[in-house]
Structures are given as C-alpha cells and as structure tokens.
Structure 1
C-alpha cells in the first residue's frame, strides 16, 4: 500500500471539521455527553487510582449482554469499535472482502497487517444495495457497515446473513444501528456461527474522546481477537460508560433520539433535494446523507468559507470528488446548511 493510498484511507470527518465551523462533517449526535452521563463518569473519577478489575470488565460485559439478549461470553469490550479492525488480523484471513463505499478503517487495518483485500464496490445505480453474489467466494473474511457510512443505506438483515457460510467470518459494523428507529435490520441479538457485530457508543453519546465500543460474536472468535491485546485495554471511565449507555434508561433515550433524528433527516432530504444541482442518495436510514454536486470540491471549500464544514467524499472507495457527506442536525442548524448550499450551488 502506497503512502498516498494510506493517507486517503486515513482521512476522517474530524479533519474537515475545523475549529469555528458549523460541523456537518462529523457524525456525532451531540456536542457533549448528556448531563446524566457526565455525572456518572465524574462519579467514577475517584476510582482512577486503581487498575480496572476483572469485575469491572465482567459488569460492563453483562450490561451489554443484557441489552442485546446475549451472554457475557459473547461480548468483547473495545476501546472504540474501530479497535476491532486491526484485531481482525489475528483470525489469519487468507482473503478479506471489504464492501464499499464504506468506512475506510477496516481496509486500512487489514492492508497494514498484510492481509490481501479485495474491494466489493456497490453500484450507485442500484442504490448501493448489497448483492451477496458480488462477494468473492474465496473470501474467508467479509466486512461491511449497516447502516453504511457514507451512503446511509440500510441493508436487510437477511441479505447480510446470506454472506454467512462455513469457514467465513462476516463482520458487520453497526456503529450507527442505534440511530435507526427500532434497529430493524440489526444482527446484534443473533448468535450465529461466523457472525461478528461491532457497536460504538461514540455516535449517540458524544464519546469520541473516550473511546468505548464492543463486539458481539462467538466466544471462540472473540478470544482469538483479544489474545494479543495488552492488559487493561479499556480504562475505568470507558468501562463505566459502557455500563451506563447499555442500561434500559439509556437505551430508551437512544430510541427517542433516533426517532427524532429520523424526522429531521426526512425534512433535510426534502430541502436539499429541492436545491437545483444537489442529488441526495436514498433512501437514507442513518443520521447522515450522501450528496452529489458538480464541482464538489469547490462547493466544499465555498461552504467552509461560509462557516460550514461538510465531509469530502472522494476518500471513500467508489466515490469521487463530486460526493459530499453531511450529518443530520436539528432543524435550525440544518437550515443554515441548506441556505449555504443554495448560495454556493446557485452561484455555480
């Protein structure tokens, strides 16, 4: 992998969200964790003088297991869901298939570890829908997102399950699944051989700076993933966050937030689609939208000059410089984006 390819795959929305800009580049719901979560983390500060214990780890895994109807042995806690991707090399795959356009960290981590990777590029004319037959039969590791970043496509669970077969591990990155009302296509509660589901707490709970997530899957696969990790891979605050965000009250709050965001998204789709020259990929299911505009790079720079940050799309395999990704915010912020897009695209 060349240094240029690596630099492209390493690009993420936080780079586009420069200080002082109205941020539509990063897909995090809140500007900061909610008060109840900050209070919970603050109460744990006095425990920072001690190493996280096996009991801390067990309690957090049990909370996750209860949330998804699994056993604690089917949970591996992660320092952010993205930590799972470099761990996949421990499974010693012979050929990894990565479904694109999608989050670039899996491919980057696998290539860095020397794992052969084949890209499976989904067709925009087919709505970026997953076609299992497009995945190489020889692939013994398949990685995809659901819902997918940046296309906002939600693949049917049964289509994803069609990828499962003996000798293959299918990794489903569900970092945004809890932002979809009802989580209708989630496989987090399904215990199936070869299925590995990743979850993040970053997006819904504004924990980008804390790093907390988890994997759900067969205990044997999870043991293989965790074998080379150092002691205490998660700190006390991350373990506390996992427990707090997996409780019934937090899950109920996330469901309400997902419903509210879906309404905001529907309105934003309608408003952006009404701007001449702006195409919105759909149907969208996640709290972000994929746009295509002619002269996308010039548009992105012009938006930045107006104080609005959006995510460039050309670093996602299968997309080009005319693609932009925008996060869904509350209506007042969305109105600023829409007006800026009218001004910029209209000016041409």
Structure 2
C-alpha cells in the first residue's frame, strides 16, 4: 500500500488501500481539536473584500497574549508558510533537523544541506536548528529552555510549538536567535482556513515579512481566529476535556495489551507488529489512523492516533480489542 507523508486525508487513504470508504469514517489520523464553537461570519462580505495584509487586529491580540510588539510577529498561511519562507532565507546555510519530526521540514529545506540528529542534545556545527516541541509525531513535550540557552548564539533556533496550547500557555522572552512558531489551525480546528504565526527577534521577523506574499492569509481565517483568540474560556475547556479523555483512551488501550509511547498532547503512538495489517483492518471498520513509515526511527512499527469523543474512542477501543483477539486466535 502506498502511504502519503501526511495524515488527515481519509479519502486519499481509502483510495490508496483500494478499499471502499464506509458511510461513516472516523479520522484518528488528524490531530486537530475536536472541541469547537459556533462562529457566525458574513462570508459574502469577507470574500468580496481584500484581507488586511498588515494583520493589525490579530496582531493586537497576539501582542497582548505574548507581551511582545507587533514588529515581533508575523501572521502566515499556516505554519507551512513560515517554514518555506525560512527555507528561502536560509537556502545557503546548514540546517539541523531531527530524524523523527514533522515531514514538511525536510521537503521545505530539500535544496539546503541537512544534517539529521536523534535529539537536540547532539546538535552542533550548524547554522539553523528546526524542531517541533511538542514533537510531531510522538506528542512528547520537553522543557528544553536550558539546553537551547547553551547553544551557540550564532545558531538560529526555530521551535515549532504547533501543539503547545493543548497543554499550557507557554511564555517566552524574545531572544535574538530564537523564533517560535504557533499554529492556529490545530488548537482551533481551522485546518481548511490555514493560519498560523511566528514571533521572535524583530530583525528576523522583518526579513520574513519582506518575502511574504501580500494577502497570503485570507479574511475568513483572520476573522475566525480573532473570535477564537478572544475567547479565554476556550483553551480551558479544551485542556479539561483532553486531560480526562486522553487518560481514558490510553488506559483502555494499554489494558488490551498494547504498548504506548509517552505523549503530552492529544495524540500518541501505539506499537504494532504489522502496521499494514492493522491499518487495513481498521480502515475496513471506518477507522483511519496515521502510519509512521515516513519517520526513520519509527519505520512503521507504530501507528499514531488522536483523541476523539468518548463515543468515537470506544469504537477504536472495540476494534483494537477485536484485532488483538483475532490475531491471538489465528
């Protein structure tokens, strides 16, 4: 079976597996928040007007949130736009990536000299270090502030915190060589709108802004994000839900005899003996999980699942139990 580098596309997954998609399919491969809120927008008005390419309103909110200046923020078409802008700026530099990390980093920096490490404690003699924390695919968060402070000040450190707000409101001091990336599509379930931002040293933000296409972020994404960002109770509700439901799902899967790797957020890795077999088994039952064949150290020995509603999680638990029972009996 041919696997895509990304999850969150059940239709493509079913076509690749040559399996007819059931009427109801639950996508456990996507890591976006299942907690949402009703938003009423005037789509006609937003669609007919040019977006504010200065992103003034959303920067007002973000500057207060992080206690930083407008000039230290860039709002982008998802985190991917920031990554590709960075690859343009640093195309003649030496980049350090972790072996098991967000696959788009490698694609963005394909024309750059890339050196791979197992963890940031090994990193040395590079111009740029880019990694996710919490890690994608594992979901593990580590407080690496001390280790980052020990790195050379000539090295630009880019920390992708796309999933950090599932667990805490992390505060940072602006440092001349550190850039933080934040996704608004994951925590606010706005994947179809594509919006994120980065914050850091004013000089680096200015360089990124100078090559960013005008109007790269659409009006609907900006307005929807502003509404979510102004709702202080939303993050509290999200964290309370996942704190309870993640423990429930993990404990039930472990009870079935599966091994789960440590994770701090709303998704985690399950060790499996035959990833193809279990992925196809679950697909036939309308359950889509994420493969790990695009990560060298994982190499298909795990599947990744995200936490859904209790009803949906129970369906996954039931299917994993039946798979385990059938494997033992055969």
TM-score (norm 1): 0.84
TM-superposed deviation, 1:159: 4.2
String of CA shifts for 1:306-341, please: whole Å, max 9, x gaps: 111100011123211221000011222111111101
Q: CA deviation at 1:160?
A: 5.1
1:137-188 deviation line (CA, Å, top 9, x unaligned) = 21111111111111111111424523642221111111111111x34xx3x5
Gaps of 5+ in 2: 15-20
Shift of 1:54: 5.0
Paired residue for 1:235?
218
Q: Distance in 2 between matches of 1:190 and 1:110?
A: 27
Select 1:221's aligned residue among 195, 201, 204.
204
CA distance in 2, matches of 1:193, 1:109: 23
Cα 1:108–1:12 change in 2 (3 A) is same
1:273-321 Cα offsets, whole Å, 9 max, x none, are 1112x21001x21100111111122111111111111000111232112
Instruction: State how 1:132-211 maps to structure 2 within 5 Å.
Output: 132-135=120-123, 137-159=124-146, 161-162=148-149, 164-180=151-167, 182-183=168-169, 186=170, 188-211=171-194
Where does structure 1 lack aligned partners over 5 or more consecutive residues? 1-6, 122-129
Q: 1:259 to 1:100 in 2, by over 3 A?
A: farther
Aligned length: 315
Residue in structure 1 matching 2:117, options 120, 125, 128: 120
RMSD across aligned positions (CA): 2.0
Alignment correspondent of 1:125:
none
Correspondence for 2:29 among 11, 25, 30: 25
Tell me the distance in 2 between the aligned counterparts of 1:337 and 1:309: 10
**Counterparts of 1:203 and 1:54, CA distance in 2:** 22
How far apart in 2 are the matches of 1:107 and 1:315? 11
C-alpha deviations, 1:174-208, integer Å up to 9, x for none? 1111111x34xx3x532112111111111122211
Identify the range of structure 1 (225-234 vs 337-346) with the bigger mean alpha-carbon deviation: 225-234
Contact 1:151/1:289 (8 A) holds in 2: yes
Rounded to whole Å, the distance in 1 between the matches of 2:221 and 2:151 is 32
State the 1:233 CA deviation.
Answer: 1.4
Counterpart-to-counterpart distance in 1, 2:181 and 2:152 = 19
- Trace 1:1-348 onto structure 2 (pairs within 5 A): 11-16=5-10, 18=14, 20-30=24-34, 33-35=36-38, 38-39=39-40, 42-43=41-42, 45-53=44-52, 57-92=55-90, 94-111=93-110, 114-121=111-118, 130=119, 132-135=120-123, 137-159=124-146, 161-162=148-149, 164-180=151-167, 182-183=168-169, 186=170, 188-247=171-230, 249=231, 251-276=232-257, 278-282=258-262, 284-348=263-327
Corresponding residue SS for 1:172: strand
Output one character per residue of 1:40-76: Cα deviation in whole Å (capped at 9) or x when no partner: xx13641432222356x12221211111111111110
Is 1:145–1:173's contact at 8 Å kept on the other side of the alignment?
A: yes
Which residue of structure 2 lines up, in the alignment, with residue 3 of structure 1? none
Distance 1:54 1:305 in 2: 45
**Secondary structure of the structure 2 residue equivalent to 1:162:** helix
Partner-residue secondary structure (3-state), 1:241: helix
Distance 1:226 1:97, change over 3 A: same
308-317 or 17-26: bigger deviation: 17-26
CA distance in 2, matches of 1:14, 1:279: 24
Q: Kindly tell me: are residues 344 and 206 of structure 1, through their superposed partners in 2, closer, same or farther at Cα, counting changes over 3 Å?
A: same
